[in-house]
Amino acid sequence: MNAITDGGVAAEPAAPDQEQIVAALREAVPGHCILYREEDTRPYECDGLSLYRMLPPVVVLPETEAQVQAVLRTCTRLNVPVVARGAGTGLSGGSMPHPRGVLLGLAKFNRILSIDPASASARVQPGVRNLAISEAAAPHGLYYAPDPSSQIACSIGGNVAENSGGVHCLKYGLTVHNVLRVRMVAMDGEIVELGSEALDAPGPDLLAVFVGSEGMLGVVTEVTVRLVPRPALARVVMASFDSVEAAGQAVARTIASGIIPAGLEMMDRRAVHMVEPFVRAGYDMDTEAILLCESDGTAEEVADEIERMEAVFREAGATRLQVSQSEAERLLFWAGRKNAFPAAGRVSPDYYCMDGTIPRRQLARVLSAIQQMEDEYGLRCANVFHAGDGNLHPLILFDSNKPDEVERAEKFGAAILELCVQVGGTVTGEHGVGIEKINQMCVQFSRDELDMFLAVKRAFDPLCLLNPEKVIPTLARCAEYGKMHVHAGELRFPDLPRF
Amino acid sequence: MEFVLSELCEQVMTAHAGRKPLFICGGGSKAFYGNRHRGEGDGHNRLDLTAYRGVIDYQPSELVVTVRAGTPLAEVEQLLAGQGQMLAFEPPHYGPQATVGGCVAAGLSGPRRAAAGSVRDFVLGTRLLDAQGRMLGFGGEVMKNVAGYDVSRLLTGSLGIFGAILEVSLKVAPRPLMELTLRSEATEAQAIERFGQWRSRPLPVSAGAWVAGGGTGDRAGGASAGTAVGGAAGAAGTGGATGELWVRLSGAEPAVRAAAQAMGGDAVDDAQAAAFWQGLREQAHPFFAARPLWRVAVPPTAAPLGLGRTLLEWGGGQRWVAADLPAQAVREAAARAGGHATLFRPADGAAAPADGVFHPLSAPVAAITRRLKQEFDPAGLFNPDRMVPGL
Helix H, strand E, coil C: the string for B141-175 is CCCCCCCCCCHHHHHCCCCCCCCEEEEEEEECEEC
Assess contact for A395 and A344: CB atoms under 8 A.
yes
- The count of CB pairs under 8 A between chains A and B is 290
Q: Which residues of B touch A227 (CB under 8 A)?
A: 200
pLDDT tens digits, one per residue of A99-139? 999 999 999 999 999 999 999 999 999 999 999 999 999 99
Q: Cβ separation of B252 and A297 shorter than 8 Å?
A: yes
Q: How far is A190 from chain B (nearest CA, A)?
A: 7
What is the per-residue pLDDT for B351? 85
Q: Cβ separation of A165 and B144 shorter than 8 Å?
A: yes
Q: Which SS3 state, helix, strand or coil, does residue B257 take?
A: helix
What is the per-residue pLDDT for B38? 80
- HSE of A338 in the Cβ direction (CA atoms, 13 Å)? 17
Neighbours of A400 (CB within 10 A): 12
What is the per-residue pLDDT for A336? 87
Q: Which of B216, B203, B62 is nearest to B144 (CA)?
A: B62
The Cα–Cα gap between B167 and B127 comes to 5
| Among chain A residues, CA nearest to B157 | A204
Residue of B65, B152, B368, B385 to mutate, testing the A interface (most A Cβ within 10 Å of its Cβ): B368
Q: Does B255 touch chain A if contact means CB atoms closer than 8 Å?
A: yes
Domain A112-229 has CATH 3.30.465.10: yes
- Class assignment of domain A348-482? alpha beta
- pLDDT at position B184 over 90: yes
Q: Which of B90, B65, B93, B68 is nearest to B79 (CA)?
A: B65
Paired sense of beta strands A82-85 and A102-105, if any: parallel
Q: Which of B127, B131, B19 is nearest to B376 (CA)?
A: B131
The Cα–Cα gap between B194 and A90 comes to 41
Burial B162-184 (b: 16+ CB within 10 A, else e): bbbbbbbbbbbbbbbbbbbbbbb
Q: How far is B337 from chain A (nearest CA, A)?
A: 9
* Phi–psi pair at B332, nearest 5 degrees: -65, -40
Q: Does B376 touch chain A if contact means CB atoms closer than 8 Å?
A: yes
Q: Cβ separation of B200 and A140 shorter than 8 Å?
A: yes
Q: Which residue has the higher pLDDT, A148 or B303?
A: B303
Q: Which SS3 state, helix, strand or coil, does residue B286 take?
A: helix
Q: Does B378 touch chain A if contact means CB atoms closer than 8 Å?
A: no
pLDDT tens digits, one per residue of B21-33? 999 999 999 999 9
Closest in B200, B365, B368 to A117, CB measured? B200
- Residue A493: pLDDT band (50, 70, 90) is low
What is the per-residue pLDDT for A300? 85
- Residue A239: pLDDT band (50, 70, 90) is very high
Q: CA-CA distances (angstroms) from residue B19 to B16, B159, B379?
A: 5, 20, 6
- pLDDT at position A304 over 50: yes
- Residue B297: pLDDT band (50, 70, 90) is very high
- Residue B218: pLDDT band (50, 70, 90) is very low
CA dihedral B122, B126, B129, B135 (to 10 degrees): 180
Q: Which residues of B touch A120 (CB under 8 A)?
A: 199-200
| Among chain B residues, CA nearest to A363 | B62
- pLDDT at position B131 over 90: yes
pLDDT tens digits, one per residue of A250-271? 999 999 999 999 999 999 999 9
Neighbours of A113 (CB within 10 A): 12
Residue of A426, A433, A446 to mutate, testing the B interface (most B Cβ within 10 Å of its Cβ): A426
- Residue A492: pLDDT band (50, 70, 90) is low
The Cα–Cα gap between B194 and B360 comes to 32
| Residue spans per domain, chain A | 18-105, 112-229, 233-341, 348-482
Q: Cβ separation of B371 and A458 shorter than 8 Å?
A: yes
Q: How far is B271 from chain A (nearest CA, A)?
A: 23
Q: CA-CA distances (angstroms) from residue B170 to A171, A269, A445, B2?
A: 15, 33, 20, 22
Helices (H), chain B: 2-18, 73-81, 100-106, 113-116, 119-122, 151-155, 188-199, 233-237, 253-263, 270-281, 327-336, 363-376
| Among chain B residues, CA nearest to A118 | B196
CA dihedral A256, A259, A260, A262 (to 10 degrees): -140
* Residues near A403 by beta carbon (within 8 Å), at least 6 away in sequence: none
**Mean pLDDT in residue range B131-158:** 96
Q: Which SS3 state, helix, strand or coil, does residue A69 take?
A: helix
Q: Cβ separation of A358 and B142 shorter than 8 Å?
A: yes
Burial B11-38 (b: 16+ CB within 10 A, else e): bbeebbeeeebbbbbbbbbbbebbbbee
- pLDDT at position A490 over 60: no
* pLDDT > 90 fraction of chain B, expressed in percent and rounded: 88
Q: How far is B387 from chain A (nearest CA, A)?
A: 7
> Are the folds of A233-341 and A348-482 the same?
yes
Q: Cβ separation of A449 and B143 shorter than 8 Å?
A: no
| Fold for the domain defined by A233-341 | Alpha-Beta Plaits (3.30.70)
Q: Which residues of A touch B200 (CB under 8 A)?
A: 117-118, 120, 140-142, 227, 229
The Cα–Cα gap between A132 and A292 comes to 26
**Mean pLDDT in residue range B288-296:** 97
Q: CA-CA distances (angstroms) from residue A163 to A157, A301, B53, B346?
A: 10, 30, 32, 38
What is the per-residue pLDDT for A366? 94
What is the per-residue pLDDT for A483? 63
Q: Does B385 touch chain A if contact means CB atoms closer than 8 Å?
A: no
Q: Does B54 touch chain A if contact means CB atoms closer than 8 Å?
A: no
- pLDDT at position A422 over 70: yes
Paired sense of beta strands B85-86 and B64-68, if any: unpaired
Assess contact for B26 and B131: CB atoms under 8 A.
no
- The pLDDT mean for chain B works out to 92
What is the per-residue pLDDT for A81? 98
pLDDT tens digits, one per residue of B346-391? 998 888 899 999 999 999 999 999 999 999 999 999 999 999 999 9
Q: Which residues of B touch A255 (CB under 8 A)?
A: 60-63
The Cα–Cα gap between B211 and B363 comes to 36
Q: Which residues pair with A219 in a beta bridge?
A: A185
Q: Which residues of B touch A393 (CB under 8 A)?
A: none
What is the per-residue pLDDT for A68? 98
Closest in A170, A202, A305 to B359, CB measured? A202
User: In chain B, what are the domains?
Assistant: 2-174 (3.30.465.10), 178-345 (no CATH)
- Residue A15: pLDDT band (50, 70, 90) is confident
Highest mean pLDDT among A352-356, A387-391, B302-306: B302-306
Q: Cβ separation of A472 and B56 shorter than 8 Å?
A: no
Assess contact for B323 and B207: CB atoms under 8 A.
no
Burial A149-168 (b: 16+ CB within 10 A, else e): bbbebbbbbbbbbbbbbbbb
Q: Which of B257, B270, B268, B275 is nearest to B183 (CA)?
A: B268
- Residue A298: pLDDT band (50, 70, 90) is confident
Q: How far is A232 from chain B (nearest CA, A)?
A: 7
* Residues near B262 by beta carbon (within 8 Å), at least 6 away in sequence: B203
**Mean pLDDT in residue range B260-277:** 97
Closest in A204, A209, A426 to B145, CB measured? A426
* Phi–psi pair at B99, nearest 5 degrees: -110, 165
What is the per-residue pLDDT for B41? 66
- pLDDT at position B157 over 80: yes
Apex A139 CA angle, A134 and A144, nearest 5: 20
- Residue B89: pLDDT band (50, 70, 90) is very high
Q: Cβ separation of B144 and A425 shorter than 8 Å?
A: no
What is the per-residue pLDDT for B212? 92
Neighbours of B4 (CB within 10 A): 17
Residue of B149, B175, B344, B388 to mutate, testing the A interface (most A Cβ within 10 Å of its Cβ): B149
Q: Which of B59, B60, B27, B61 is nearest to B46 (CA)?
A: B27
What is the per-residue pLDDT for A13? 52
What is the per-residue pLDDT for A489? 42
Q: Which of A494, A305, A294 is nearest to A386 (CA)?
A: A294
Q: Which residues of A touch B202 (CB under 8 A)?
A: 141, 229-232, 297-298
Give residue A264's Cα distance to chain centre: 18
- Which CATH entry fits the domain spanning A18-105: 2.40.50.100, 3.40.50.10880, 3.40.50.970, 3.30.43.10? 3.30.43.10
Assess contact for A471 and A438: CB atoms under 8 A.
yes
- Give the dihedral sign, CA B120/B123/B125/B126: negative
Give residue A332's Cα distance to chain centre: 24
- HSE of A489 in the Cβ direction (CA atoms, 13 Å)? 7
The Cα–Cα gap between B305 and B297 comes to 11
Which of A236-250, B229-243, B288-302 comes out lowest in average pLDDT? B229-243
| Among chain B residues, CA nearest to A142 | B200
DSSP state of B22: B
Q: Which of A305, A266, A225 is nearest to A392 (CA)?
A: A266
| Among chain B residues, CA nearest to A207 | B154
Q: How far is B218 from chain A (nearest CA, A)?
A: 31
- Residue A320: pLDDT band (50, 70, 90) is very high
The Cα–Cα gap between A425 and A423 comes to 6
Q: How far is B327 from chain A (nearest CA, A)?
A: 15
Paired sense of beta strands A58-60 and A102-105, if any: parallel
Q: Which residue type, as a one-letter code, is found at position A425?
A: G
Q: Which residue type, as a one-letter code, is found at position B353?
A: P
Paired sense of beta strands A263-268 and A289-297, if any: antiparallel
* Phi–psi pair at B146, nearest 5 degrees: -120, 30
Q: Cβ separation of A499 and B167 shorter than 8 Å?
A: yes
Q: What share of chain A is helix, strand, coil (3-state, %, to 5)?
A: 40, 20, 40
| Among chain B residues, CA nearest to A299 | B255
| Among chain A residues, CA nearest to B357 | A202
Q: Which residues of A touch B300 (CB under 8 A)?
A: 119, 198-199
**Mean pLDDT in residue range A66-75:** 98
Q: Cβ separation of B254 and A301 shorter than 8 Å?
A: yes
- pLDDT at position A457 over 50: yes
Q: Which of B151, B153, B367, B159 is nearest to A451 (CA)?
A: B151
* Phi–psi pair at A464, nearest 5 degrees: 55, 50
Q: How far is A142 from chain B (nearest CA, A)?
A: 7
